[in-house]
Structure 1
Amino acid sequence: MKQNLSLLLVLATAFTAGAQIKKTTKPTQAYTVGNKKVSVYVTAQNSDLRIRKTETLNFVTNKQPFETEPCVFIDPTIKYQTMVGIGGALTDASAETFAKLSKKNQDELMEKYYNPTSGIGYTLARTNIASCDFSSGSYTYVQDNDKELKTFSVAHDEQFKIPLIKQAIKAAGGKLTLFVSPWSPPAWMKDNNSLLGGGHLLPAYRQSWANHYVKFIKTYESMGMPIWGLSVQNEPMAKQKWESCVYTAEEERDFIKNFLGPTLQKSGLASKKLIAWDHNRDQIFQRASTILNDKDAAKYVWGIGFHWYETWTGSNMQFGNVKQTHEAYPDKALIFTEGCKEKYDVTKLDDWTLGERYGYSMINDFNSGTAAWTDWNILLDENGGPNHVGNFCFAPVHADTKSDKLIYTNAFYYMGHFSKFIRPGAKRIGSASSRDKLQTTAFINPDGKVAVVVMNQSDEKLKYSLWIKGEAATTTSLPHSITTLVIE
């Protein structure tokens, strides 16, 4: 009798537990096309199409497409990472160039970048802590040998950079996700006694340097510029002729674990998103595994940042390294922190491959698990600067400061096909193309609208169908084009 009673109790307990599991587990929410329509926005070479709405599509039944029918397949019930934001860097160079524009062009640039309706709706920004190559000269915020940081001042930034950041925040509707990055500690904190040429942070100044991040963040915030996050060091494995500082993976890990992480916590800045690496895709996995396999360092790290420079050779941009890092550390975010076309050439401003590089990178980075994407300078002058070491580069927008003219490259529009239609909080969803000439990624926004980006780098005009759950809407991809299809 006792055995039977015990068995009944076990069964009852199991049934109750099962009922609780069933009750709290949410099934995958179904997605139905119904009467939804598709708005098609296109940017294409050899045309005047620039994020222009070209047509509205209707879905028709197509239960199973034949293999001869090119398709972009979408499944909104399969969800991946959440979008943080898309944007660009507000550097000294951008700010100094911006200050030379007329008020009319300043207002236009802010609207074009940050207004989600009449512009491309940037929501993310990065700025430099002290000087970088895209500054007119080298500078720091503290006087020599001031270990206590008593002379700390951002007065330098008040002339150009801070006014630009504040205007960008205002143009974005009062909220802009801003993260900050140092290129070098002050020269006297380093073993080469120089801001330039790499060098290492001296052990004696690790705590002072950790305190410096806190000083910077709190000072900027007291001036009305909220800081969302920070990276440990821009390009920590690059010995550059401009501001730079080298950290091995172990050095960065130990600096985070023993100094920067605890200092942020003790200073009330534990909520700031700490980004490690902030360099190229080639070594992203090695850096991530060294830091994140140490639980005492990993607990302070929000995510891993990366650039594209060393891997920008043809179509081999080592997206597999990004994907492997995401799969190995799914609880940590990935953020593209910097990228641009180097070696500025004024005759190449209309080169269509500028935008295609952005589109190709963004699609593959997002499909590899990246949650945020940041371009480099939002604006540069007619020389690809200013830059105090001659490292002139391209930006999505250039200003001819002599004639007060804004020049929008196609990179601006290619980025806009993502930033305008894929908003913070959007979830990446299942997407796949049946043709390698059509690259694609897709997101479902918090308001329920699905944004599907399709890029065609070929010389061919390709007819294809957007297929969802047995329903298809057919359109045509123009040669060398990027399209965003919005299902609403």
Structure 2
Amino acid sequence: MKIEKLYETAKDTAERIWELSPEDRIYEAGGWIPTTLNLKPEESFQKFYGFGGALTESSGYVLSRLPSQVRKQAIEAYYNPKTGNAYHFARIHMNSCDFSLDNWACVPEKDERLKSFSMDRTDKYISPLTMDVQRIAKNEGSDVQFLMSPWSPPLWMKDNGDMNHGGHLLDCYRELWAQYFVTFIKKMAERDIKISFVTIQNEPAAVQSWDSCEYSAKEEGEFAAQYLGPALEKAGLGDVKIYIWDHNRDLALERLEESLKVPGASKYVAGLAFHWYSGDQYDNIKEIAKRYPDIDLIFTEGCIEGGPRNGAWFTGERYAHNIINDLRSGCTKWIDWNIVLDMKGGPNHVGNYCDAPILADEEKGELHFQSSYYYIGHFSRFIKPGAVRVSSDFFSWMTPATVSGHLTDEAETVAFKNPDGSIVLIVTNRTEADLAFEFKIEAAGGVQTADLRDWEKARTAANSKDGAKAESGNPAAPLYLKCPPRAIQTWILK
């Protein structure tokens, strides 16, 4: 197997998904290398279908205030498969969310027949953005699938009479709320936007100062089995997949099990959606993948909270840490939060400002690409839809001599086999020193060393390691590579 290409993004350099020669990352410093990266391409796991972002009203509003060419640049930066991050998914919201200009609903006043259902507000900023995203992708031979999530029903359907501050959907409106989903999906179809997935409720266990609504796990199961699933089927929309939870990893397993106890829920619940805000409870996602192999696991939201971090590096590293571990846990689709926000991290109608991979200076008409944008790109540009995850792991006989003094979750890796047979291997190094490692491939019942275009340089480097001997053409000769400090690499092997 030959290492064909290498792409790198590194702190304190100009490298941003920069292609360089794989030979340039041969480790030649000498000394004992206690760390090994083992790639096992014959050990396979889940299929993966791509990355995406959220097309919120706030993102649509910010982009509408930019010059047309800058707006196009931002959209292409995500959805152009040739020059951008090659996104294949987009999340939109039905009614308002916190990243809206204010509270609004498609049926703001009590109307139990939904005759007044209006797309005026959706069509102001969200629909134009979705159509532009779809057009840009299609022009380059790609496609986009849309996920729709509600943050709250209209206030008149809730027991607290408020779109904000939690509250519950009134029992008497469960059937009508299901019809609301159907109506919205049909009206988006009239705009040539097909909704492929829905979640029942964004963060159903959270009482927020913004748009929110509470559901128990049982209530989600009942809504899927008794109302939403049948309503979609009756309307000829049975191919729209229903996902539950749409909240943090911490309660994902117990919520899924409780929802699936509802008679009929398993017929309609296609998967579970999750967020990252409660921390690294990846074991819950792994356990779901193990116990419920037919349940699709989709990451639907994550961001850097507390406002924008223009120029920060840790933001990209946080994304890579979450993406790697979600993918290693069984995730099949990974969708980021707002694609673009302003320099305040908004607009947000309750001041819940956040960071985004692209920040826009509306006054200057400029885009600021964050480290998170490039870190996501190391995954989204190279892992193709339908790729199968294969095994890759770091192993160290001792703690490497780094500033942090340990390897655990400072260096991480994930690998996929693309439909064309190529292997995508991603390596991150969050330490302040070079991460040097021996690279081994376990396949065909033995251990192999990847080939390089310049074998003589690799052989010379191997021979300098404390007497190690590597002869030209020896498939078992050691190959020592390095990842620079605070960097991410994507290695392409064929």
Normalising by structure 2, report the TM-score. 0.87
Counterpart amino acid of residue 335 in structure 2: T
Q: Does 1:158 align with 2:135?
A: no
Question: Unpaired runs of 5+ in structure 2?
Answer: 27-31, 397-407, 451-479
Partner secondary structure for residue 50 of structure 1: coil
Q: Does 1:320 align with 2:288?
A: no
Partner secondary structure for residue 12 of structure 2: coil
Shift of 1:439: 0.4
2:157 to 167, 184, 189: 189
Counterpart amino acid of residue 37 in structure 2: V
Residue in structure 2 matched with residue 138 of structure 1 by the alignment: 103
Shift of 1:104: 1.8
Q: Is the 8 A contact 1:441 1:453 kept in 2?
A: yes
CA distance in 2, matches of 1:237, 1:83: 28
1:400-458 C-alpha deviation (Å, 9 max, x unpaired): 10111100110000100110001111111111111434201111111212111111111
Root-mean-square deviation over aligned CA pairs: 1.8
2:310 to 349, 357, 360: 349
CA distance in 2, matches of 1:295, 1:431: 40
Counterpart amino acid of residue 288 in structure 2: T
Counterpart amino acid of residue 214 in structure 1: V
Counterpart amino acid of residue 488 in structure 2: I
CA distance in 2, matches of 1:44, 1:57: 17
Residue in structure 2 matched with residue 52 of structure 1 by the alignment: 18
CA distance in 1, matches of 2:337, 2:148: 13
1:230-287 C-alpha deviation (Å, 9 max, x unpaired): 0000000111111100001111111111111111111111111111000011111110
Matches within 5 A, 1:204-353: 204-294=172-262, 296-311=264-279, 317-345=280-308, 348-353=309-314
Shift of 1:143: 4.1
Give the 3 Å change call, closer, same or farther, for CA 294–430 of structure 1 in structure 2.
Answer: farther
Q: Does 1:463 align with 2:436?
A: yes
Partner secondary structure for residue 72 of structure 2: helix
Q: Does 1:117 align with 2:64?
A: no
Q: Does 1:450 align with 2:415?
A: no
Counterpart amino acid of residue 192 in structure 2: G
Task: Pick which of 190-199 and 467-476 moved more.
Answer: 467-476
CA distance in 1, matches of 2:307, 2:289: 33
1:416 to 377, 397, 405: 377
1:149 to 101, 114, 123: 114
Give the 3 Å change call, closer, same or farther, for CA 427–57 of structure 1 in structure 2.
Answer: farther
List, as ranges, runs of 4+ consecutive aligned residues in structure 1 with deviation greater than 6 Å: none
Counterpart amino acid of residue 485 in structure 1: W
Residue in structure 1 matched with residue 349 of structure 2 by the alignment: 388
Counterpart amino acid of residue 481 in structure 1: A
2:488 to 479, 482, 488: 482
Shift of 1:464: 2.0
Task: Pick which of 447-456 and 239-248 moved more.
Answer: 447-456
CA distance in 2, matches of 1:396, 1:105: 15
1:103 to 57, 65, 68: 68
CA distance in 2, matches of 1:139, 1:93: 13
CA distance in 1, matches of 2:391, 2:232: 37
Shift of 1:350: 1.5
Q: Does 1:379 align with 2:340?
A: yes
Q: Is the 8 A contact 2:93 2:148 kept in 1?
A: yes
Shift of 1:310: 2.3
Task: Pick which of 465-474 and 230-239 moved more.
Answer: 465-474
Counterpart amino acid of residue 167 in structure 1: D
Counterpart amino acid of residue 39 in structure 1: K
Counterpart amino acid of residue 194 in structure 1: D
CA distance in 2, matches of 1:406, 1:424: 28
Q: Is the 8 A contact 2:340 2:356 kept in 1?
A: yes
CA distance in 2, matches of 1:462, 1:37: 18
Q: Is the 8 A contact 2:33 2:436 kept in 1?
A: no
CA distance in 2, matches of 1:109, 1:203: 42
Question: Unpaired runs of 5+ in structure 1?
Answer: 1-32, 61-66, 312-316
Q: Is the 8 A contact 1:40 1:56 kept in 2?
A: yes
Counterpart amino acid of residue 307 in structure 2: Y
Q: Is the 8 A contact 1:85 1:177 kept in 2?
A: no
Residue in structure 2 matched with residue 38 of structure 1 by the alignment: 4
Q: Is the 8 A contact 1:37 1:57 kept in 2?
A: no
Shift of 1:322: 1.3
Q: How many pairs does the alignment contain?
A: 442
CA distance in 2, matches of 1:78, 1:101: 47
Quote the sequence identity (%).
Answer: 40
Q: Is the 8 A contact 2:218 2:262 kept in 1?
A: no
Task: Pick which of 126-135 and 99-108 moved more.
Answer: 99-108
CA distance in 1, matches of 2:371, 2:362: 20
Q: Is the 8 A contact 1:183 1:245 kept in 2?
A: yes
Counterpart amino acid of residue 244 in structure 1: S
